[in-house]
Amino acid sequence: MKKLLIVLLVLLTSCSTSLETDISSDRDFSKLLGKRITVEGTAANTKFGALVITNDNASIWIDKLESWPAQYNAEGDNGKTVIVTGVIIEKFDLPVVVNKNGQSSKTSSRKYVLTEAIWGLLPD
């Protein structure tokens, strides 16, 4: 089943090569908005939803996924390694950070999100 899922992800990403981006060397998600990308990392649950933490500590949320299924073991630091493909967008719905002077920044509420996401576990 795991091999089938990986094959399906590879086929999906190869069908849209003009939109597919390998982000292994570029973590500036703002340059990738609107593109279909694939990320690999650790599944994690937060109070704001499910996300992937990449090996270089970049975080990207999964649209409309409140938490990973139980088999992803995404509680604490024990999340399983996942691969996720989706279209990257940005949302401004995180709580806003206000500094000592009472000023806030819209960018402090920004998060990058994968829509139309397909995900699966990578073998250990």
Question: Domain residues of the chain, as ranges?
Answer: 2-121
Class of 2-121 in CATH:
mainly beta
- pLDDT-based confidence at 25, cuts 50/70/90? very low
State the chain's mean pLDDT as an integer: 78
- Provide the pLDDT for residue 12: 45
CA gap 8, 76 in Å, rounded:
29
DSSP conformation letters of the chain: -HHHHHHHHHHHHHHTTTTEEE-TT---GGGGTTSEEEEEEEEEEETTEEEEEETTS-EEEETT-SS--GGG--STT-PPEEEEEEEEEEEE-SPPPB-TTS-B-GGGGEEEEEEEEEEEEPP-
- DSSP lists the bridge partners of residue 20 as 36
- Provide the pLDDT for residue 16: 40
What is the tens place of the pLDDT at every residue in 57-107? Answer: 899 999 999 999 999 987 766 789 999 999 999 988 666 667 777 666 555
**Is there a contact between 12 and 20 (Cβ–Cβ < 8 Å)?**
no
**Is the whole model's pTM more than 0.85, yes or no?**
no
